[in-house]
Each structure stands twice: as structure tokens, then as C-alpha cells.
Amino acid sequence: MAAAQAGQTRALIIGAGIAGIQAALDIANSGYDVALVERLPSVGGHMAQLSETFPTLDCSQCILTPRTVEVGHHPHIRLLTYSELESLEGEPGHFVARIRRRPPYVRWDVCTGCGVCTTKCPTKVPAEFEGGLGPRKAIYTLSPQAVPNKPVIDREHCRYFTQGKCRICEKLCPVGAIDYEQAEEIVEETVGAVIVASGYQLLPLGRLPEYGGGAVPDVIDGLQFERLLSASGPTAGKVRRPSDGREPKTVVLVQCAGSRDPEHGVPYCSKICCMYTAKHALLYRHRVHDGRAIVFYIDIRSGGKGYEEFVQRAMEEERVLYLRGKVSKIFRDGERVMVWGTDTLTGRNVEVAADLVVLAAAATPDAAQAALAQALGIAAGADGFLDERDATLAPVETGRPGVYMAGAALGPKDIPETVAQGSAAAAKVLGLFARWRAEPELAAQPGHDLATDERR
């Protein structure tokens, strides 16, 4: 019995984007332990990549960093970055999670995060965090604000792993933290409840052949544009064309790139694109005062506090031109990017010679989400997003008792809604923990009907 109860008031959270971070802090600040598992080397998810957030234009990194730092230092949070869930066995109150930890080839217990290794490493590759628009080294941290601020070696590009020579990082590390012999390990966490917060990704541009299929250099997606707009990004916040580094004077922003398009993309609305496109157009005009921003849209969905006003601000104060119509083709013509579309309000065909095109590509489930759902024994819908036990009355509960979910893993959503769901999932877990503390015999009854219990 004692062993069965060992993990009952400890939570496992999978995914350390803002959804997982919020849930972890809510639970940890209530005095319970949390194991927070993140696939990447550091926490923050997509919010860490954003420049400013609609509708307030807060600096994303500035409002996120206090939370990532708190997560990194919290006495009740065990951070397991560079890790993924292998399996989850057991019942609410006594789940056993097997977690695969990738080797960073750096002893994080010894590393001081001084950055000498990342500065001196001779190998440069495109940085995933920068959407490929800037470089990183073969030994790297995701960003300067990374939590934990410890590097990992990418063995696919490291000269020592690929060619058997180099070892510069090992030679220069002042504390001897480099360890090429590290191996993958499996750790087990015994927990009472689980929250899945594995987020979203954008439809790869290769899936949009009519929009250049990812092969036209100055056609980028929204997250790449976020990096161009970010002070910490590859151009230090100056909007520059990836192809030649010039300041683009005409930028076309295409909404619904793959969304609401069952034939070429996904059938659903990605929900966040109308707002972030307005933000992009507005921030571009803030950066390039003599620039022209043109938005192609099917219709504008700006439901949210202050959202409609924000779109109006882009249109009226920043004179962003909104053209109602769908873009039919995007292709390169010399140094320009040609955008063909139809203005459905006038019925005329439109052709724009742009310097840069930003596609609001559809938000899709994380590519590995199906495998994660299977490992967790929970259901995903036809679109791949996680399914609610009851979409109306149990929106953060999965069909598996004791396993909850939050954020964009359930469907595209903005940060306020994501944070609200993170807190909702945390409240569900805290509710269970409180009851198990008051009635310990409940947690010792494998299979007791949680769904019914929760509605008592």
C-alpha cells in the first residue's frame, strides 16, 4: 500500500510551453511536487519565439522570462528537459511514467553556463529556434534566455561525432563539463496525475506548393517573421529579407495559408492567424515607416477582448491594406515575389510584386503527438488534436482518468486561453490531490471512478 501511494500527490506535466509552465507553477505553488518534461533543451515553447504579443504588444520574452526562471528554480519542480515520455502505466494516484532522457554530452551538474563552448565551436548550422534564419553552433543553447541555461551537443553536426576530431569545446571548457561518453537514460517518475501540454506546430511550407512550397527564399511563415521582428532574433529586430538582407518595402501577409482548405491543407480555422497577422502588419509598419503592408484575408475573426480594436488599429492607424480574397499563386520573378490573387469585393484579379511574403500557415498538432497520445492511452480526433472527454463540460479532461490536458495540444489557441486551460488542468489535479489527502483510502483503490467522484 505504501508503495502504491508513493506518488499520489506528485504531478507529471508533458510539454513546457506556456500551458505546461502555468500548470506546473499553479501546482508547485500549492505545495505539491511536479515533474515537468520538455522535449527541447529548454522551456518556453513557441511563446519564447514571439516578438510582441497581441493585443497589448507586450514583449513576449519579458513577460515569459519571470515564469521560465521560476520554473527553473522552483523547489517543487523537477525539470526534465531534453526528455520525452516513453510510457505511462498504472492508475490515478499511482502512475509510473518512463521518461527517455537524451544525452546533452555536457555535464549539466558541472556546467556554469559561461558560453565559451558555444562561442568557440567552429560548426555553424541553421538554428531551429530562429526558423532557420540565423545560425547556431553544434554545441548550443536554444536562446540567450534559455532555462536551463546549459548547452547540448547536436551529434549530427558535431565534428567530433561525425569526423572523430575537433574537441574544441572539451579543450576550452573551464570546468571540464564536456562528456562525449554520455548515453541516453530512462528514468521513472511515480506520480498521481498527468497533464499533457504538447502544443502545436505550423504546417510546413512544403505542404503549400501553390505558395512556393517552401522553395522561394523570401516566402516565410509567421514564426519566422516573429524572429525577424524580435530584438533577440537573427536581425536584432530589423526586418530584413532572408535572400539578400535588404529591408523589404512591400510585404504581403497571407491569412488562411492551408487553414479552412480541406483539399490542400486542413479543414479547420487556425484561430490565431487573423490576430497575429494584424500584429505582424502593425509591427512591420512600426519598423519600416515607409513600407507597405498588404493582407489577403477570407474574413477576419477577431473574437477576444480588445481584438477587434487591435485589427482596426492596424487598418486605420498603420494604414495596412486589407484585401478580401484568396491568393492563388506565389512565385519568384527576378528579385521580387509575385502574389496573384482575387479581390472578391471588387471582383478583380490582383497582382502584387512583393519583397517579402509572410504566410499564416495552419496550426497543426505536434508531429509526434499521435505517438504521445498512444503512449498515454488517450484519444486524438481526426485532425490530430487531443480529444476532450466532454467538449462542453469537461474541456481539459481526457478519456483516461487522472490524465488532463491544456493549451494548443487540444487545438489552436492564443496565450490567454492557453494560460486559462493550464490553470484549469492544474485545478483538476489539485482537486484530486486535496481529496486524496483528505481521504487516502480513495487513492489506494485502483480504478475508482474519478469522473463520477469529480462531479460529487
Judge whether 416 and 422 are in contact, CB under 8 Å. Answer: no
Contacts 24+ apart (CB under 8 A), 388-393: 389/451
Q: Give yes or no for residue 130 binding ligand FAD (CB under 6 A).
A: no
Distance in Å, CB of 375 to ligand FAD, minimum = 8
Judged by CB under 6 A, the residue of 34, 281, 282, 372 near ligand FAD is 372
- Residue ranges of alpha helices (H) inside 234-368 are 273-287, 307-316
Contact call for residues 150 and 112 (beta carbons, < 8 A)? no
- Find the binder of ligand FAD among 11, 12, 13, 14 (CB under 6 A): 14
Residue 387 binding ligand FAD, by CB under 6 A = no
Q: Which of 279, 301, 400, 428 binds ligand FAD (CB under 6 A)?
A: 279
SS3 state of residue 352: strand
Please, what is the minimum distance in Å from the beta carbon of residue 412 to ligand FAD? Answer: 8
Which are the contacts of 185, defined by CB distance < 8 A and separation ≥ 6?
100, 101, 103
For 103-172, the DSSP string reads: --SB-TTT-----HHHHH---EEE-TTTTTSSEEESEE-SSTT-SS---EE-TTT-HHHHHS---HHHHH
By CB under 6 A, residue 53 contacts ligand FAD = yes
Helix (H) or strand (E) holding 449: none
Q: Are 274 and 311 in contact (CB under 8 A)?
A: yes
- Asked if 17 interacts with ligand FAD (CB under 6 A), we say yes
> In the set 8, 149, 230, 418, which binds ligand FAD (CB under 6 A)?
418
From the list 25, 28, 33, 38, which residue makes contact with ligand FAD (rule: CB under 6 A)?
38
Choose which of 186, 231, 368, 391 interacts with ligand FAD (CB under 6 A): 368
The reply to whether 23 sits near ligand FAD by the rule CB under 6 A is no
What are the two backbone dihedrals, phi and then psi, of residue 170, each rounded to the nearest 5 degrees? -65, -40
Q: Would you say 353 or 371 has its CB closer to ligand FAD?
A: 371
| CA–CA distance, 399 with 81 (Å, rounded to integer) | 27
Contact with ligand FAD (CB under 6 A): which of 82, 268, 276, 436? 276
x-or-dash pattern for ligand FAD, window 326-365, by CB under 6 A? ----------------------------------------
Which 396-415 residues touch ligand FAD, going by CB under 6 A?
407-408, 413-415
Residues near ligand FAD (CB under 6 A), total? 40
Out of 32, 54, 95, 129, which residue is the one contacting ligand FAD (CB under 6 A)? 54
Task: For the segment 235-274, give every residue that binds ligand FAD (CB under 6 A).
Answer: 272
Give the SS3 label for residue 312: helix
Q: Are strands 356-361 and 250-257 parallel, antiparallel or unpaired?
A: parallel
Binding mask 193-232 for ligand FAD (x = CB under 6 A): ----xxxx-x-------------------xx--x------
CB burial class (10 A; 0-12, 13-18, 19+) of residue 385? buried
Nearer to ligand FAD, 160 or 211 (CB): 211
Cα four-point dihedral sign 3, 5, 10, 13: positive
Query: Judged by CB under 6 A, which of 33, 84, 170, 218 binds ligand FAD?
Result: 84
Mark residue 30 as left, alpha or beta (left: phi above 0; alpha: psi -120 to 50; beta: remaining).
alpha
Task: Please give the residue ranges that form the binding site for ligand FAD (CB under 6 A).
Answer: 14-20, 37-40, 45-47, 50, 53-54, 84-85, 197-200, 202, 222-223, 226, 272, 276, 279, 366, 368, 372, 407-408, 413-416, 418
